[in-house]
Amino acid sequence: MMEEYLFDQEEPLLGEKNSYGTIVPAPTYHKKSPANTLGPAPRTASFQQQPYDNLLAAILTTIFCFFPLGCCSMYYSFKTRRCYKQGQLRRSIMAARHSQTMAQMSCIVGLMLWFGGAITLLLYMEDLLG
C-alpha cells in the first residue's frame, strides 16, 4: 500500500511543501566553492590487454590456403599491433576482427579450391584411364 501511495503523488516543486509539510529548499551555489575552482574531473587511464592479432593464422592461410585474402589478413594483423602501440584501442580491436575474418575467409576459399582441384584432377584422371 505504501508503494502505491508514493508513486501516485507528484514530486513537489522548489519552494512548495512536500507530503511531510516541509518546504523543499532550492539548491544553493557558491561562486568560490572548491568544486568550481578545480575544473573538470581528471580522466583516469584504463589498461586493456592488446587484442589477439591472429598473425599465425594469417601466415598459415597465406601459405596454404588463398594467398590474396591471407595477405589482407596479415595486413590487418600488423595494423592491430600498430594501432595498439599508438593508443588507438578501438581501431586495434576492429583491425583484429578484420584480421580474423580475412583469415577465416582465406581458409574457406582455400579449402574450396583445394577440394575442387582434387575432384577435378580425379575426374580428369578417370577420364584418361577409362
The number of folded domains in the chain is: 1
Give this prediction's pTM: 0.59
Cell numbers of 119, please?
575432384
For every residue of 46-88, DSSP letters joined together read ---PPPP--HHHHHHHHHHS-HHHHHHHHHHHHHHHHHHHTT-
pLDDT tens for 74-96 read 999 999 999 999 989 999 999 99
Q: Is residue 30 part of a domain?
A: no
**Which run of H or E residues covers position 98?**
helix 89-129
Domain assignment present for residue 64? The answer is yes
Residue 97 in domain? yes
- For residue 2, is it within any domain? no
Return d(Cα 92, Cα 88) in angstroms, integer: 6
Look at residues 107, 93, 92, 109 and name the one whose alpha carbon lies nearest to residue 58.
Answer: 107
More confidently predicted of 2 and 90? 90
In a domain, 10, yes or no: no
48 in a domain, yes or no? no
Q: Which amino acid is at 42?
A: P
Residue 15 forms part of a structural domain: no
Reference 59, options 76, 38, 36, 45; nearest CA is: 76
Q: What is the extent of the structural domain holding 66? A: 55-129
The predicted-structure confidence for 62-73, as pLDDT tens digits, reads as follows: 999 999 999 999
The torsion angles phi and psi of 66, rounded to 5 degrees, stand at: -110, 115
